[in-house]
Amino acid sequence: MRSRIEVDKNKMPYQFQIMLGGSMYSMEWQYNSTSERFTCTLCDAQGEPLVYGEPLIYGNPLFAALSHGEILPPMEIVPLDESGETQEITWENFGETVFLTLDDEGESV
């Protein structure tokens, strides 16, 4: 099983700091009930936004359109259901069976 980033959907909107690949980041989480979509804004340690309002899409790595490693975390962060029960992100399953998994084998999280 991969490592996970725990997100408390019941606190949204909220943010927390996290160490990824040896660097500190801030992740701000929001949920839009109209579009039924979770989004993440990623900031550096000084609070400067690196990626604003990235939507979570099942099976697609967050921040995939950008280069990982220099500014962004070096590992992929992918919303997945490792139990195989679903292939979509909903309010009901996020944090229950669908988690943000880290492709972090050999990395420090």
Whole-Å CA distances, 18 to 21, 36, 68, 80: 10, 25, 16, 20
pTM metric for this prediction? 0.84
**Which of helix, strand or coil describes residue 85?**
coil
Alpha-carbon dihedral sign for residues 19, 69, 1, 7: positive
The least confident of 16-20, 51-55, 63-67 is 63-67
Q: What is the pLDDT of residues 76-100, one digit of tens each?
A: 999 999 888 889 999 999 999 999 9
Q: CB under 8 Å to 43, separation ≥6 — which residues?
A: 25, 26, 27, 28, 49, 50
Contact assessment for residue 95 and residue 78, using Cβ atoms and an 8 Å cutoff: no
Confidence class for position 108, pLDDT limits 50, 70, 90: very low
Q: How far apart are CA 51 and CA 77, in angstroms?
A: 14
Query: Does position 70 have pLDDT exceeding 50, yes or no?
Result: yes
**Which of helix, strand or coil describes residue 24?**
strand
Whole-Å CA distances, 90 to 39, 49, 97, 98: 12, 26, 10, 9
- Give the number of other CB atoms < 10 A from CB of residue 99: 22
| Bigger pLDDT: 8 vs 105 | 8
